[in-house]
Amino acid sequence: MMFALVVASTALAPVERLYLSHGHRANSFSAAFDPDLERHVTDQGFVAFARHECTKTSLAFFDPVCAEAHMEAVLDSFMERERQRGRVAFWKVSTATARYLCERHGFAAAPYGTEHALDLSGDMLRGPKRRNLRRDVNNARKAGARVEVVAAADASLTTCERRWLAARPQSREIRRATRRCRAAPEPYCTKVRAVDDTGATLGWAAFDHCYRDGVLVGAGFSTVRWDPCAPKGLPALLAVDGAALVAQDSDTFRLELGEAPLAPLPRHLAEDFPPLPFVGAVTRLVYDRGRLLYNARGISAWKRKWRADEAALWICCERDPPVFETVAALALIYDP
């Protein structure tokens, strides 16, 4: 279990070293360690991406993992190499990354959704704004659920995950665009589980560690699974009590709740980027009517309960309609 605040990184592989220095975003762990992704690595940072050879498309996932001052240089290096091989697109990048791609490399952008984060200071359940979140946590606690750290491989996590997947509109996980989390211990990740009075597993969650200069500064709430018969409010209990276990009374710990995919952007997060009308129409259609494909509305409603800080995420492509890029994205994400 990894709780050390400072990590010696001099003898580590380049990607791992860069992650420990600059991996402070919600998806930094996935960018560094997802086995389905490749990495374009420089001395200053790296870009995680996947290649779809049939459409000659390189699809980058998430922001570069690097110091903010080096973001442009890392992106330029990636673009120089991948444009020689064909098309390039970006999935789930921040406003700063999208702005640079549009201004420097001629991209257009469409909103992907919002991401949510909050600082853990005091009682995060206090106040009228989080009364719905507080009600969820109290419901789970009254049912006898409690949260503990998973210190070793536990078969009950896999059983719980299978039950969770069986109850989903899509009974298998997608790849690359979201964290495919192993139901077993992993470096730089704390897993917790909720148990009942008998010790049976009701659900579990993963917190991917976030670092700045080797210091643990936060965690990404990247995965949550629960038995369909578990008490109502269990995901909120896993998030609240699990984050407290990872933070260990830290005064400067940030909980990265991750994204609300396809959620409409609040007006104050809108940008005047060159648009991608086709992509925007598809994302709106899936959000409004595509529950059987992806429960974007439900995820968005749950994230709003936290009243957390919001930021925009973007899809960036070089042209509209991005037909080949769309085919590549669907093939890479729904690749069995």
The Cα–Cα gap between 66 and 195 comes to 38
Q: Is 48 helix (H, G, I), strand (E, B) or coil?
A: strand
Going by pLDDT thresholds of 50, 70 and 90, the confidence category of residue 174 is confident
Is residue 163 domain-shared with residue 230, that is, in the same domain? yes
Q: What is the pLDDT of residues 256-304, one digit of tens each?
A: 999 999 999 999 999 999 999 999 999 999 888 877 667 889 999 999 9
Provide the domain count of the chain.
2
Q: Tell whether 298 is covered by a domain.
A: no
Give, in order, the Cα–Cα distances in Å from 20 to each of 186, 217, 305. 15, 11, 31
**Is the pTM value of this prediction over 0.85?**
yes
Average pLDDT of the segment spanning 26-35: 96
Q: Are 114 and 265 in contact (CB under 8 A)?
A: yes
For residue 143, give the amino acid letter: A
Average pLDDT of the segment spanning 75-101: 98
Q: What is the mean pLDDT of the chain?
A: 91
For residue 336, give the amino acid letter: P
Q: What is the pLDDT of residues 107-123, one digit of tens each?
A: 999 999 999 999 987 77
Q: Tell whether 73 is covered by a domain.
A: yes
What is the predicted pLDDT for the residue at 171? Answer: 61
CATH, residue 164: 3.40.630.30
Is residue 110 domain-shared with residue 129, that is, in the same domain? no
What is the predicted pLDDT for the residue at 185? Answer: 87
Longest dimension (CA), the chain: 59
Average pLDDT of the segment spanning 1-10: 40
CATH, residue 32: 3.40.630
Is residue 152 domain-shared with residue 106, that is, in the same domain? no
User: Sign of the CA dihedral 5, 9, 11, 12?
Assistant: positive
Q: What is the pLDDT of residues 150-165, one digit of tens each?
A: 988 899 999 999 999 8
For residue 316, give the amino acid letter: C
Domain that holds residue 80: 14-116+259-292+309-333
